[in-house]
Homo-oligomer: A and B are copies of this chain.
Amino acid sequence: MSRYFPLTREVFWRQAACIVGPKEGQGPLAPFFDRIEKDDLLGQTSFEQAEMQLQLQCAQMLLQKENLRPEDISLLLSGDLLNQVVAAGFCARELKIPYLGLYGACSTMAESLMLGSMVLSAGYGTNALCMASSHFSTAERQYRFPLEMGTQRPPSAQWTVTGAGAALISTVLPSPLVITGVTPGRVIDLGITDANHMGAAMAPAAADTLEAHFRDSHTKPSDYDRIITGDLGQIGSDLVCEMLHEKGYDIAPVHMDCGVEIFRGMQLGSGGSGCGCCAVTLAGFIRNQFMEGTLKRILFTATGALLSPTTTQQGESIPSIAHAVVIERRQSC
Protein backbone atom coordinates (compact mmCIF):
# COMPACT_ATOMS: atom_id res chain seq x y z
CA MET A 1 0.00 0.00 0.00
CA SER A 2 1.41 3.39 -0.98
CA ARG A 3 2.18 5.67 1.93
CA TYR A 4 2.51 8.67 -0.38
CA PHE A 5 -0.68 10.50 -1.29
CA PRO A 6 -0.50 12.93 -4.23
CA LEU A 7 -3.16 15.58 -3.60
CA THR A 8 -6.20 15.20 -5.84
CA ARG A 9 -6.23 18.97 -6.21
CA GLU A 10 -3.25 21.22 -5.53
CA VAL A 11 -3.65 23.40 -2.48
CA PHE A 12 -2.16 26.89 -2.49
CA TRP A 13 0.19 27.96 0.26
CA ARG A 14 -1.09 31.50 0.17
CA GLN A 15 0.57 33.26 3.08
CA ALA A 16 2.69 32.78 6.20
CA ALA A 17 3.54 34.54 9.45
CA CYS A 18 5.98 33.93 12.26
CA ILE A 19 6.89 35.47 15.61
CA VAL A 20 9.94 34.44 17.65
CA GLY A 21 11.58 35.15 20.99
CA PRO A 22 14.72 37.17 21.70
CA LYS A 23 17.22 34.31 21.35
CA GLU A 24 15.89 33.26 17.95
CA GLY A 25 16.21 36.92 16.97
CA GLN A 26 19.96 36.72 17.62
CA GLY A 27 20.33 33.79 15.21
CA PRO A 28 21.13 33.73 11.51
CA LEU A 29 17.47 33.45 10.42
CA ALA A 30 16.52 36.72 12.16
CA PRO A 31 16.03 38.70 8.91
CA PHE A 32 13.23 36.35 7.88
CA PHE A 33 11.01 36.49 10.96
CA ASP A 34 8.01 38.82 10.90
CA ARG A 35 8.47 39.89 14.47
CA ILE A 36 11.11 39.35 17.15
CA GLU A 37 9.82 39.78 20.69
CA LYS A 38 12.10 41.57 23.15
CA ASP A 39 10.41 39.95 26.15
CA ASP A 40 9.77 36.22 26.04
CA LEU A 41 6.86 36.69 28.47
CA LEU A 42 5.11 38.90 25.89
CA GLY A 43 3.85 41.00 28.79
CA GLN A 44 1.98 38.03 30.30
CA THR A 45 2.24 36.66 33.83
CA SER A 46 3.19 33.10 32.85
CA PHE A 47 5.17 31.46 30.07
CA GLU A 48 2.15 29.34 29.17
CA GLN A 49 0.10 32.48 28.59
CA ALA A 50 3.02 33.91 26.61
CA GLU A 51 2.95 30.88 24.31
CA MET A 52 -0.81 31.28 23.79
CA GLN A 53 -0.13 34.90 22.83
CA LEU A 54 2.55 33.79 20.38
CA GLN A 55 -0.02 31.65 18.55
CA LEU A 56 -2.78 34.22 18.75
CA GLN A 57 -0.70 37.16 17.55
CA CYS A 58 0.84 35.03 14.81
CA ALA A 59 -2.62 34.00 13.55
CA GLN A 60 -3.85 37.58 13.72
CA MET A 61 -0.80 38.79 11.79
CA LEU A 62 -1.41 36.15 9.12
CA LEU A 63 -5.05 37.19 8.72
CA GLN A 64 -4.06 40.84 8.61
CA LYS A 65 -1.54 40.25 5.81
CA GLU A 66 -4.38 38.96 3.64
CA ASN A 67 -7.04 41.28 5.01
CA LEU A 68 -9.09 38.29 6.13
CA ARG A 69 -11.31 37.82 9.17
CA PRO A 70 -11.49 34.65 11.28
CA GLU A 71 -14.90 33.97 9.69
CA ASP A 72 -13.16 33.58 6.33
CA ILE A 73 -11.22 30.56 7.59
CA SER A 74 -12.91 27.16 7.44
CA LEU A 75 -10.55 25.29 9.74
CA LEU A 76 -7.75 25.90 12.21
CA LEU A 77 -5.37 22.95 12.57
CA SER A 78 -2.82 23.53 15.27
CA GLY A 79 -0.89 22.18 18.19
CA ASP A 80 2.01 22.63 20.57
CA LEU A 81 4.05 20.71 23.15
CA LEU A 82 2.15 21.69 26.27
CA ASN A 83 0.16 19.22 28.34
CA GLN A 84 -3.33 19.02 26.85
CA VAL A 85 -2.14 21.21 23.95
CA VAL A 86 -3.34 24.33 25.73
CA ALA A 87 -1.56 27.03 23.72
CA ALA A 88 -3.41 25.91 20.60
CA GLY A 89 -6.69 25.31 22.41
CA PHE A 90 -6.73 28.68 24.17
CA CYS A 91 -5.72 30.46 20.98
CA ALA A 92 -8.59 28.73 19.16
CA ARG A 93 -10.92 30.06 21.85
CA GLU A 94 -10.02 33.62 20.89
CA LEU A 95 -10.12 33.06 17.13
CA LYS A 96 -13.47 31.18 17.13
CA ILE A 97 -12.48 29.27 13.97
CA PRO A 98 -13.58 25.58 13.84
CA TYR A 99 -10.62 23.85 15.41
CA LEU A 100 -8.85 20.53 15.05
CA GLY A 101 -6.35 19.98 17.85
CA LEU A 102 -3.28 18.01 16.78
CA TYR A 103 -0.45 16.41 18.66
CA GLY A 104 2.64 15.43 16.73
CA ALA A 105 5.24 16.93 19.07
CA CYS A 106 7.80 18.79 16.91
CA SER A 107 6.25 17.30 13.75
CA THR A 108 3.02 19.24 14.34
CA MET A 109 3.61 21.86 11.63
CA ALA A 110 3.92 19.11 9.00
CA GLU A 111 0.94 17.24 10.44
CA SER A 112 -1.21 20.35 10.23
CA LEU A 113 -0.13 21.19 6.66
CA MET A 114 -0.69 17.57 5.66
CA LEU A 115 -4.15 17.20 7.17
CA GLY A 116 -5.18 20.72 6.20
CA SER A 117 -4.24 20.23 2.56
CA MET A 118 -5.87 16.77 2.39
CA VAL A 119 -9.13 18.15 3.79
CA LEU A 120 -9.17 21.31 1.62
CA SER A 121 -8.28 19.35 -1.53
CA ALA A 122 -11.40 17.26 -0.94
CA GLY A 123 -13.54 20.38 -0.99
CA TYR A 124 -14.19 20.64 2.76
CA GLY A 125 -13.76 24.35 3.32
CA THR A 126 -11.74 26.82 1.30
CA ASN A 127 -9.13 28.34 3.61
CA ALA A 128 -7.30 26.68 6.47
CA LEU A 129 -4.89 28.04 9.03
CA CYS A 130 -2.09 25.62 9.97
CA MET A 131 -0.03 26.55 12.99
CA ALA A 132 2.39 25.31 15.65
CA SER A 133 4.30 26.88 18.53
CA SER A 134 6.75 26.13 21.28
CA HIS A 135 8.34 28.12 24.08
CA PHE A 136 11.70 27.40 25.68
CA SER A 137 10.50 28.08 29.20
CA THR A 138 7.24 26.11 29.02
CA ALA A 139 9.06 23.15 27.47
CA GLU A 140 11.92 23.12 29.97
CA ARG A 141 9.48 23.22 32.88
CA GLN A 142 7.55 20.38 31.36
CA TYR A 143 10.05 17.99 29.87
CA ARG A 144 13.22 18.57 31.84
CA PHE A 145 13.89 20.68 34.93
CA PRO A 146 12.61 23.98 36.32
CA LEU A 147 14.68 26.82 34.88
CA GLU A 148 15.52 27.98 38.41
CA MET A 149 17.66 24.86 38.94
CA GLY A 150 20.12 26.04 36.31
CA THR A 151 20.75 22.42 35.27
CA GLN A 152 23.74 21.82 33.01
CA ARG A 153 22.88 20.50 29.58
CA PRO A 154 24.93 17.89 27.69
CA PRO A 155 26.19 18.88 24.21
CA SER A 156 23.68 16.50 22.60
CA ALA A 157 20.73 18.42 24.09
CA GLN A 158 18.64 20.66 21.85
CA TRP A 159 17.27 24.08 22.71
CA THR A 160 13.50 24.55 22.42
CA VAL A 161 12.63 27.40 20.10
CA THR A 162 10.37 30.17 21.39
CA GLY A 163 8.12 30.99 18.48
CA ALA A 164 4.96 30.40 16.52
CA GLY A 165 4.67 29.88 12.78
CA ALA A 166 1.50 29.78 10.72
CA ALA A 167 0.56 29.05 7.13
CA LEU A 168 -2.61 30.02 5.31
CA ILE A 169 -3.50 27.35 2.78
CA SER A 170 -6.36 27.72 0.35
CA THR A 171 -8.14 26.33 -2.68
CA VAL A 172 -9.59 29.72 -3.66
CA LEU A 173 -6.82 32.24 -2.96
CA PRO A 174 -4.14 31.50 -5.57
CA SER A 175 -0.42 31.48 -4.95
CA PRO A 176 2.58 30.29 -6.92
CA LEU A 177 3.39 28.03 -3.97
CA VAL A 178 1.40 24.80 -3.88
CA ILE A 179 1.29 21.67 -1.75
CA THR A 180 1.22 18.69 -4.11
CA GLY A 181 1.52 15.57 -1.96
CA VAL A 182 2.03 14.15 1.52
CA THR A 183 3.50 11.09 3.22
CA PRO A 184 2.23 10.49 6.76
CA GLY A 185 4.74 8.96 9.16
CA ARG A 186 4.76 5.82 11.26
CA VAL A 187 5.94 5.75 14.87
CA ILE A 188 9.48 4.38 15.02
CA ASP A 189 11.47 3.64 18.18
CA LEU A 190 14.95 2.19 18.12
CA GLY A 191 15.32 2.26 21.89
CA ILE A 192 16.93 5.63 22.71
CA THR A 193 15.97 6.53 26.30
CA ASP A 194 17.93 9.78 26.81
CA ALA A 195 15.63 12.83 26.60
CA ASN A 196 18.75 14.90 25.93
CA HIS A 197 19.40 12.91 22.76
CA MET A 198 16.28 13.66 20.74
CA GLY A 199 18.08 13.91 17.41
CA ALA A 200 19.24 10.31 17.64
CA ALA A 201 15.76 9.21 18.71
CA MET A 202 14.05 11.01 15.81
CA ALA A 203 16.47 10.25 12.95
CA PRO A 204 15.12 6.71 12.34
CA ALA A 205 11.57 8.09 11.99
CA ALA A 206 12.76 10.66 9.44
CA ALA A 207 14.64 7.96 7.54
CA ASP A 208 11.56 5.68 7.53
CA THR A 209 9.26 8.39 6.16
CA LEU A 210 11.77 9.64 3.59
CA GLU A 211 12.46 6.12 2.33
CA ALA A 212 8.71 5.45 1.99
CA HIS A 213 8.26 8.80 0.28
CA PHE A 214 10.98 8.26 -2.33
CA ARG A 215 9.77 4.72 -3.00
CA ASP A 216 6.05 5.46 -3.24
CA SER A 217 6.25 8.82 -5.02
CA HIS A 218 8.86 7.48 -7.46
CA THR A 219 11.18 10.38 -6.73
CA LYS A 220 14.80 10.61 -5.64
CA PRO A 221 16.58 13.08 -3.35
CA SER A 222 17.91 15.10 -6.28
CA ASP A 223 14.34 15.79 -7.44
CA TYR A 224 14.12 18.25 -4.54
CA ASP A 225 16.01 21.52 -4.18
CA ARG A 226 15.93 20.98 -0.47
CA ILE A 227 14.94 18.10 1.82
CA ILE A 228 14.19 19.82 5.08
CA THR A 229 14.07 17.93 8.34
CA GLY A 230 13.19 19.43 11.68
CA ASP A 231 14.43 19.20 14.33
CA LEU A 232 17.14 16.60 14.29
CA GLY A 233 19.96 18.95 15.25
CA GLN A 234 23.51 18.22 14.17
CA ILE A 235 23.74 14.70 15.58
CA GLY A 236 20.39 13.55 14.21
CA SER A 237 21.12 15.16 10.82
CA ASP A 238 24.30 13.16 10.41
CA LEU A 239 22.42 10.02 11.42
CA VAL A 240 19.52 10.45 8.99
CA CYS A 241 21.91 11.03 6.08
CA GLU A 242 23.85 7.92 7.06
CA MET A 243 20.74 5.75 7.50
CA LEU A 244 19.36 6.76 4.12
CA HIS A 245 22.74 6.33 2.47
CA GLU A 246 22.66 2.70 3.58
CA LYS A 247 19.28 2.37 1.84
CA GLY A 248 20.69 3.82 -1.36
CA TYR A 249 19.45 7.40 -1.04
CA ASP A 250 21.96 10.23 -0.85
CA ILE A 251 20.13 13.17 0.68
CA ALA A 252 23.25 14.93 2.02
CA PRO A 253 23.70 17.33 -0.96
CA VAL A 254 20.17 18.75 -0.54
CA HIS A 255 19.57 18.17 3.15
CA MET A 256 18.89 21.00 5.59
CA ASP A 257 17.69 20.73 9.20
CA CYS A 258 15.64 23.49 10.81
CA GLY A 259 17.14 22.75 14.24
CA VAL A 260 20.66 23.19 12.87
CA GLU A 261 19.93 26.38 10.89
CA ILE A 262 17.96 28.37 13.44
CA PHE A 263 20.81 28.54 15.98
CA ARG A 264 23.79 28.00 13.63
CA GLY A 265 26.96 29.36 15.18
CA MET A 266 25.29 29.97 18.53
CA GLN A 267 26.72 27.06 20.56
CA LEU A 268 23.31 25.92 21.75
CA GLY A 269 24.02 22.20 22.03
CA SER A 270 22.95 20.17 19.01
CA GLY A 271 20.57 22.87 17.71
CA GLY A 272 16.97 23.98 18.05
CA SER A 273 13.84 21.92 18.66
CA GLY A 274 10.17 22.31 19.54
CA CYS A 275 7.09 22.57 17.31
CA GLY A 276 7.95 26.22 16.78
CA CYS A 277 11.37 25.49 15.29
CA CYS A 278 10.35 24.20 11.89
CA ALA A 279 7.14 26.25 11.96
CA VAL A 280 9.03 29.56 12.06
CA THR A 281 11.82 28.31 9.77
CA LEU A 282 9.22 27.28 7.17
CA ALA A 283 7.09 30.41 7.54
CA GLY A 284 10.13 32.72 7.56
CA PHE A 285 13.34 31.54 5.93
CA ILE A 286 12.01 28.83 3.61
CA ARG A 287 9.09 30.86 2.29
CA ASN A 288 11.50 33.69 1.64
CA GLN A 289 13.77 31.39 -0.36
CA PHE A 290 10.78 30.30 -2.44
CA MET A 291 9.85 33.93 -3.06
CA GLU A 292 13.40 34.81 -4.04
CA GLY A 293 13.39 31.96 -6.53
CA THR A 294 16.11 29.94 -4.80
CA LEU A 295 13.73 27.03 -4.19
CA LYS A 296 11.34 25.35 -6.61
CA ARG A 297 10.50 22.09 -4.90
CA ILE A 298 11.05 20.99 -1.33
CA LEU A 299 10.24 18.04 0.86
CA PHE A 300 9.33 19.40 4.30
CA THR A 301 9.76 16.57 6.80
CA ALA A 302 9.16 17.64 10.38
CA THR A 303 10.03 15.12 13.08
CA GLY A 304 8.50 14.68 16.52
CA ALA A 305 9.52 12.80 19.66
CA LEU A 306 6.37 11.36 21.23
CA LEU A 307 7.63 11.00 24.79
CA SER A 308 6.29 12.52 27.99
CA PRO A 309 8.08 13.16 31.29
CA THR A 310 6.03 10.30 32.77
CA THR A 311 7.10 7.78 30.14
CA THR A 312 10.73 8.84 30.59
CA GLN A 313 10.47 8.39 34.37
CA GLN A 314 8.89 5.01 33.79
CA GLY A 315 11.97 3.97 31.80
CA GLU A 316 10.35 3.99 28.38
CA SER A 317 12.32 4.76 25.23
CA ILE A 318 11.41 7.61 22.88
CA PRO A 319 9.01 6.82 20.03
CA SER A 320 9.28 9.27 17.15
CA ILE A 321 7.45 10.25 13.99
CA ALA A 322 8.03 12.29 10.84
CA HIS A 323 5.49 13.55 8.31
CA ALA A 324 6.55 14.72 4.83
CA VAL A 325 4.90 17.42 2.72
CA VAL A 326 5.88 18.31 -0.86
CA ILE A 327 5.77 22.04 -1.60
CA GLU A 328 6.43 23.38 -5.11
CA ARG A 329 6.62 26.71 -6.87
CA ARG A 330 4.45 26.65 -9.96
CA GLN A 331 5.45 29.93 -11.61
CA SER A 332 7.54 32.98 -10.85
CA CYS A 333 6.54 34.70 -7.62
| Interface residue A71 (Cβ < 8 Å from any Cβ of B) | yes
For the complex formed, measure the closest distance between the CB of A295 and the CB atoms of chain B, giving whole angstroms. 26
Q: Which residues of B contact A57 (CB under 8 A)?
A: none
Whether A93 lies near B307 (C-beta < 8 A) is: no
Q: Does the CB pair B83–A308 fall under 8 Å?
A: yes
Decide: A104 and B105 in contact? CB cutoff 8 A: no
Task: Give the complex CA separation of A119 and B100 in angstroms.
Answer: 14
A36 within 8 A of partner (CB): no
**Interface residue ranges of A46-71 to B (CB < 8 Å):** 46, 48-49, 71
Contact, CB under 8 Å: A103 / B79 = yes
Contact B99 A100 (CB under 8 A): no
Complex interface: stretch among A156-164, A278-286, A310-318, A325-333: A310-318
Jot down 13 A-B pairs with beta carbons below 8 A, ordered by A.
A1-B72, A1-B125, A8-B123, A83-B309, A89-B306, A92-B186, A92-B187, A92-B321, A98-B186, A99-B184, A101-B321, A103-B103, A115-B115
Q: Is the CB of A187 within 8 A of B99?
A: yes
Residues of chain B within 8 A of A74, CB atoms compared: 1
Query: For the complex, is A249 an interface residue (Cβ under 8 Å from B)?
Result: no
**Distance (Å) between the CB of A51 and the closest chain B CB?**
11
Asked whether A316 lies within 8 Å of B90 as measured between CB atoms, the reply is yes
Please give, as numbers and ranges, the residues of chain B lying within 8 Å of A214 by CB-CB distance.
none
1/0 per residue, CB under 8 A from B, across A1-25: the answer is 1010100100000000000000000
Q: Which of A49, A84, A105, A189 has the largest number of chain B CB atoms within 10 A?
A: A84
Residues of B within 8 Å of A48, CB to CB, are 310-311, 314
> Which residues on B sit within 8 Å (CB–CB) of A257?
none
Q: Is A237 on the interface with B (CB-CB < 8 A)? A: no
For A310, the chain B residues whose CB sits under 8 A away are 48, 82-83, 86
Known: A79-B103, A96-B186, A125-B5. A307 touches B118 (CB 8 A): no
Taking CB atoms, residues of chain B closer than 8 Å to A81 are 84
A97 proximal to B (CB < 8 A):
yes
Q: Within the assembled complex, what's the spacing in Å between the Cα atoms of A88 and B79?
A: 16
Closest to A309 in B: B83
Q: Of B90, B97, B126, B308, which is within 8 A of A306 by CB?
A: B90
Minimum CB–CB distance from A279 to chain B (whole Å) comes to 16
Interface 0/1 of A107-143, CB less than 8 Å to B = 0000100010011011111100000000000000010
A1-B71, A102-B101, A124-B5 as given contacts; A311 in contact with B86, CB under 8 Å: yes
- Contact, CB under 8 Å: B124 / A188: no
> Which residues in B have their C-beta under 8 angstroms from that of A89?
103, 187, 306, 319, 321
Task: Identify the closest chain B residue to A72 (Cβ).
Answer: B1
Is A243 interfacial (CB-CB < 8 Å)? no
Interface residue A185 (Cβ < 8 Å from any Cβ of B) = yes
Given contacts A8-B123, A118-B119, 5 further A-B contacts (CB under 8 A): A5-B124, A83-B310, A86-B306, A93-B306, A101-B111
A192 at the interface (CB under 8 A from B): no
Chain B residues near A101: list those with CB within 8 A.
102-104, 111, 306, 321
Interface centre among A97, A121, A124 (most CB of B within 10 A): A124
Report the minimum CB–CB distance from A317 to chain B (whole Å): 9
